[in-house]
Amino acid sequence: MAFAASTACCKPSALLAPRTSSSSSLRAQALLCSPSTSTKFHGLKAPVPRRRAASTGIVCGKVNKGSVPPNFTLKDQDGKTVSLSKFKGKPVVLYFYPADETPGCTKQACAFRDSYEKYKKAGAEVIGISGDDAASHKAFAKKYRLPFTLLSDEGNKVRKEWGVPSDLFGTLPGRQTYVLDKKGVVQYIYNNQFQPEKHIGETLKIIENL
Protein backbone atom coordinates (compact mmCIF):
# COMPACT_ATOMS: atom_id res chain seq x y z
CA MET A 1 0.00 0.00 0.00
CA ALA A 2 1.42 3.44 -0.90
CA PHE A 3 1.05 6.49 1.35
CA ALA A 4 0.74 10.02 0.03
CA ALA A 5 3.48 12.41 1.07
CA SER A 6 2.73 14.36 4.26
CA THR A 7 3.08 17.74 2.58
CA ALA A 8 0.30 16.83 0.15
CA CYS A 9 -2.32 15.88 2.71
CA CYS A 10 -1.57 18.59 5.27
CA LYS A 11 -2.82 21.63 3.34
CA PRO A 12 -4.41 24.36 5.50
CA SER A 13 -7.54 24.30 3.31
CA ALA A 14 -8.08 20.63 4.12
CA LEU A 15 -7.88 21.30 7.84
CA LEU A 16 -10.28 24.29 7.64
CA ALA A 17 -12.84 22.63 5.37
CA PRO A 18 -16.38 22.00 6.70
CA ARG A 19 -16.82 18.77 8.53
CA THR A 20 -17.95 16.20 6.02
CA SER A 21 -16.74 13.13 7.86
CA SER A 22 -16.88 11.79 11.36
CA SER A 23 -14.53 12.98 14.09
CA SER A 24 -12.84 9.57 14.12
CA SER A 25 -11.90 9.85 10.44
CA LEU A 26 -10.49 13.33 11.05
CA ARG A 27 -8.36 11.99 13.86
CA ALA A 28 -7.14 9.24 11.58
CA GLN A 29 -6.31 11.83 8.90
CA ALA A 30 -4.37 13.92 11.41
CA LEU A 31 -2.34 10.90 12.43
CA LEU A 32 -1.52 10.11 8.82
CA CYS A 33 -0.40 13.71 8.25
CA SER A 34 1.88 13.89 11.30
CA PRO A 35 5.53 13.81 10.26
CA SER A 36 7.63 11.17 12.01
CA THR A 37 11.39 10.65 12.08
CA SER A 38 11.12 7.13 13.46
CA THR A 39 10.52 5.57 10.03
CA LYS A 40 11.01 6.45 6.38
CA PHE A 41 7.21 6.51 5.89
CA HIS A 42 5.42 9.63 7.11
CA GLY A 43 2.68 9.01 9.62
CA LEU A 44 3.83 5.50 10.66
CA LYS A 45 5.30 5.52 14.14
CA ALA A 46 7.60 2.71 15.17
CA PRO A 47 7.07 1.39 18.69
CA VAL A 48 9.43 2.89 21.29
CA PRO A 49 11.62 0.12 22.74
CA ARG A 50 11.52 -0.27 26.49
CA ARG A 51 14.73 0.17 28.43
CA ARG A 52 15.97 -3.02 29.92
CA ALA A 53 16.88 -3.03 33.56
CA ALA A 54 20.59 -3.27 34.24
CA SER A 55 21.79 -6.80 34.88
CA THR A 56 22.70 -7.55 38.46
CA GLY A 57 24.52 -10.78 37.64
CA ILE A 58 27.75 -9.06 36.56
CA VAL A 59 29.58 -6.55 38.70
CA CYS A 60 31.96 -4.34 36.78
CA GLY A 61 34.04 -1.34 37.77
CA LYS A 62 32.28 -0.45 41.02
CA VAL A 63 35.45 1.05 42.49
CA ASN A 64 36.90 3.84 40.36
CA LYS A 65 39.55 6.49 40.73
CA GLY A 66 38.32 9.18 43.09
CA SER A 67 35.85 6.89 44.86
CA VAL A 68 35.90 5.50 48.40
CA PRO A 69 35.70 1.70 48.17
CA PRO A 70 33.42 -0.30 50.47
CA ASN A 71 34.92 -1.48 53.74
CA PHE A 72 35.50 -5.18 54.33
CA THR A 73 36.66 -7.53 57.06
CA LEU A 74 38.66 -10.63 56.12
CA LYS A 75 41.06 -13.08 57.75
CA ASP A 76 44.80 -12.69 57.27
CA GLN A 77 47.44 -15.43 56.97
CA ASP A 78 47.43 -15.85 60.76
CA GLY A 79 43.66 -16.26 60.97
CA LYS A 80 43.13 -12.78 62.48
CA THR A 81 40.32 -10.55 61.23
CA VAL A 82 41.45 -7.41 59.46
CA SER A 83 39.27 -4.50 58.29
CA LEU A 84 40.20 -2.03 55.57
CA SER A 85 39.08 0.80 57.86
CA LYS A 86 41.92 -0.14 60.20
CA PHE A 87 44.39 1.40 57.77
CA LYS A 88 42.65 4.75 57.40
CA GLY A 89 45.12 7.55 58.05
CA LYS A 90 47.89 6.02 55.96
CA PRO A 91 48.29 5.20 52.25
CA VAL A 92 47.43 1.66 51.21
CA VAL A 93 48.53 -0.40 48.23
CA LEU A 94 45.91 -3.12 47.89
CA TYR A 95 46.30 -5.69 45.17
CA PHE A 96 43.99 -8.51 44.10
CA TYR A 97 45.75 -11.52 42.61
CA PRO A 98 44.48 -14.85 41.22
CA ALA A 99 46.09 -17.44 43.53
CA ASP A 100 49.02 -18.35 45.75
CA GLU A 101 51.98 -20.19 44.24
CA THR A 102 51.19 -19.40 40.60
CA PRO A 103 54.17 -18.05 38.64
CA GLY A 104 52.80 -14.55 38.03
CA CYS A 105 51.47 -14.14 41.57
CA THR A 106 54.74 -15.33 43.10
CA LYS A 107 56.68 -12.89 40.94
CA GLN A 108 54.37 -10.04 41.96
CA ALA A 109 54.50 -10.89 45.68
CA CYS A 110 58.30 -11.08 45.65
CA ALA A 111 58.49 -7.72 43.86
CA PHE A 112 56.39 -6.16 46.63
CA ARG A 113 58.60 -7.92 49.19
CA ASP A 114 61.77 -6.50 47.68
CA SER A 115 60.37 -2.96 47.79
CA TYR A 116 58.54 -3.31 51.10
CA GLU A 117 61.02 -1.21 53.07
CA LYS A 118 60.48 1.66 50.63
CA TYR A 119 56.72 1.40 51.14
CA LYS A 120 57.21 1.41 54.91
CA LYS A 121 59.46 4.46 54.66
CA ALA A 122 56.68 6.23 52.76
CA GLY A 123 54.26 5.26 55.55
CA ALA A 124 52.21 2.92 53.37
CA GLU A 125 50.73 -0.52 53.93
CA VAL A 126 50.77 -3.31 51.35
CA ILE A 127 47.86 -5.78 51.30
CA GLY A 128 47.36 -8.74 48.99
CA ILE A 129 43.95 -10.38 48.48
CA SER A 130 43.00 -13.65 46.80
CA GLY A 131 40.41 -16.39 47.21
CA ASP A 132 42.87 -18.74 48.92
CA ASP A 133 42.25 -19.68 52.55
CA ALA A 134 44.34 -18.49 55.50
CA ALA A 135 46.42 -21.70 55.62
CA SER A 136 47.41 -21.29 51.97
CA HIS A 137 48.36 -17.67 52.58
CA LYS A 138 50.46 -18.61 55.59
CA ALA A 139 52.43 -21.22 53.64
CA PHE A 140 52.86 -18.81 50.73
CA ALA A 141 54.08 -15.98 52.97
CA LYS A 142 56.48 -18.28 54.84
CA LYS A 143 57.96 -19.83 51.71
CA TYR A 144 58.75 -16.48 50.09
CA ARG A 145 59.31 -14.46 53.30
CA LEU A 146 56.51 -12.02 52.56
CA PRO A 147 56.43 -9.30 55.24
CA PHE A 148 53.02 -7.83 54.39
CA THR A 149 49.39 -8.81 54.97
CA LEU A 150 47.63 -11.40 52.83
CA LEU A 151 43.85 -11.56 53.16
CA SER A 152 41.56 -14.47 52.35
CA ASP A 153 38.57 -13.54 50.22
CA GLU A 154 36.95 -16.97 50.04
CA GLY A 155 34.08 -16.95 47.58
CA ASN A 156 35.53 -13.75 46.02
CA LYS A 157 32.90 -11.62 47.74
CA VAL A 158 35.10 -8.53 48.11
CA ARG A 159 36.46 -8.96 44.59
CA LYS A 160 32.88 -8.85 43.26
CA GLU A 161 31.93 -5.87 45.44
CA TRP A 162 34.91 -3.92 44.14
CA GLY A 163 34.21 -4.98 40.54
CA VAL A 164 37.65 -6.42 39.88
CA PRO A 165 37.58 -7.70 36.28
CA SER A 166 38.51 -11.26 35.32
CA ASP A 167 41.33 -11.99 32.92
CA LEU A 168 40.83 -11.59 29.18
CA PHE A 169 39.34 -15.06 28.81
CA GLY A 170 37.12 -14.81 31.88
CA THR A 171 38.50 -18.05 33.28
CA LEU A 172 40.63 -16.72 36.14
CA PRO A 173 40.22 -14.00 38.77
CA GLY A 174 41.86 -10.80 37.56
CA ARG A 175 44.99 -9.08 38.84
CA GLN A 176 44.39 -5.46 39.80
CA THR A 177 46.09 -2.97 42.13
CA TYR A 178 44.56 0.02 43.93
CA VAL A 179 46.38 2.87 45.67
CA LEU A 180 44.36 4.56 48.41
CA ASP A 181 45.38 7.82 50.04
CA LYS A 182 45.21 8.60 53.77
CA LYS A 183 41.49 9.38 53.50
CA GLY A 184 40.73 6.07 51.83
CA VAL A 185 40.14 7.59 48.39
CA VAL A 186 41.36 5.64 45.35
CA GLN A 187 44.11 7.58 43.57
CA TYR A 188 45.38 4.94 41.16
CA ILE A 189 44.19 1.70 39.57
CA TYR A 190 46.43 -0.62 37.62
CA ASN A 191 45.40 -3.81 35.82
CA ASN A 192 48.48 -5.96 35.48
CA GLN A 193 47.44 -9.42 34.36
CA PHE A 194 50.48 -10.08 32.20
CA GLN A 195 53.19 -7.86 33.79
CA PRO A 196 52.62 -8.40 37.49
CA GLU A 197 55.75 -6.69 38.75
CA LYS A 198 55.83 -3.70 36.37
CA HIS A 199 53.66 -1.39 38.49
CA ILE A 200 55.73 -1.61 41.69
CA GLY A 201 57.79 1.47 40.83
CA GLU A 202 54.71 3.39 39.65
CA THR A 203 52.79 2.78 42.88
CA LEU A 204 55.82 3.85 44.91
CA LYS A 205 56.01 7.15 43.05
CA ILE A 206 52.33 7.80 43.66
CA ILE A 207 52.62 6.94 47.36
CA GLU A 208 55.61 9.25 47.77
CA ASN A 209 53.68 12.14 46.19
CA LEU A 210 50.49 11.77 48.24
Instruction: Give me the catalytic one of 9, 10, 33, 105.
Output: 105
The values of phi and psi at residue 115, to 5°, are -105, 5
State yes or no: is 105 an active-site residue. Answer: yes
Three-class SS string for 156-210? CHHHHHHCCCCCCCCCCCCCEEEEECCCCCEEEEEECCCCCCCCHHHHHHHHHHC
Count how many Cα atoms sit within 13 Å of the Cα of residue 77 in the half-sphere of its side chain.
Answer: 19
**Residue from 159, 152, 151, 155 nearest 70 by CA:** 159
> By C-alpha distance, which of 39, 24, 29, 28 is closest to 9?
29
Cβ-based neighbours of 70, under 8 Å, separated by 6 or more: 63, 161, 162
Do the strands 81-83 and 186-191 form a parallel or antiparallel pair, or are they unpaired? Answer: unpaired
Active site residues: 105
